[in-house]
């Protein structure tokens, strides 16, 4: 992600022949200089570019279809995702909200728009069919220890979200976004 001196995220794509010890040393070094690396396999676009590609293309489609203005699409990202995702990742968000929501929304929106690409991935369908719908059942995309731990995580997340909201609200007020 760019600019790398401002954004801590990095994708590390080790060659299959590289020893894990070397990868671990690199990860330790990157973390020590303030980066947040992930390890992924070589794939077109790797992780973040593939995710961005989906979101950017869908944002433009929404504008093309007249669903919302470019300004409102950007506001939706800034004031929706921008407030939520500093605290939790997208897959954690799915588990917390419940896989059943993604399952039903994917089926409904895909059918209404005649867009098979919006159908849920097989992983979501499989988990839904086996009743593993996230934090409610202690299994979804991730596994959870106990309902007590889920509740504790929810409280910690809420405290962090309040801090993020306070900071972002201040920034947006300074920018004149709140008229």
> Which residues does the annotation mark as catalytic?
11
Phi then psi for 137, rounded to 5 degrees? Answer: -110, 5
Please give the Cα distance from 101 to 140 (Å, whole number): 12
Mention every residue, 6+ apart, whose C-beta is less than 8 A from residue 14. Answer: 22, 23, 39
Distances (CA, A) of 56 to 46, 69, 70, 126: 16, 14, 11, 28
With both helix axes pointing from N to C terminus, report the angle between 99-113 and 90-97 in degrees, rounded to the nearest 10.
100
Please give the Cα distance from 103 to 124 (Å, whole number): 7
């Amino acid at each position: 992600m760019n600019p790398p001196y401002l954004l801590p995220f990095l994708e590390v794509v080790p060659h299959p022949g590289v020893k894990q010890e070397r990868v671990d040393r690199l990860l330790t070094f990157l973390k020590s200089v303030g980066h947040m690396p992930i390890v992924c396999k070589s794939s077109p676009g790797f992780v973040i570019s593939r995710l961005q590609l989906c979101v950017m293309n869908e944002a433009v489609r929404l504008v093309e279809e007249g669903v919302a203005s470019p300004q409102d699409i950007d506001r939706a990202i800034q004031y929706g995702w921008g407030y939520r995702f500093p605290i939790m990742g997208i897959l954690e968000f799915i588990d917390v909200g419940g896989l059943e929501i993604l399952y039903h929304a994917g089926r409904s929106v895909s059918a209404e728009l005649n867009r098979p690409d919006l159908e849920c991935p097989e992983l979501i369908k499989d988990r839904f069919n086996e009743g593993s719908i996230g934090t409610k059942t202690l299994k979804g995309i991730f596994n959870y220890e106990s309902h007590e731990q889920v509740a504790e995580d929810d409280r910690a997340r809420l405290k962090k979200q309040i801090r993020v909201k306070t900071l972002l609200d201040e920034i947006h007020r300074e920018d004149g976004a709140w008229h």
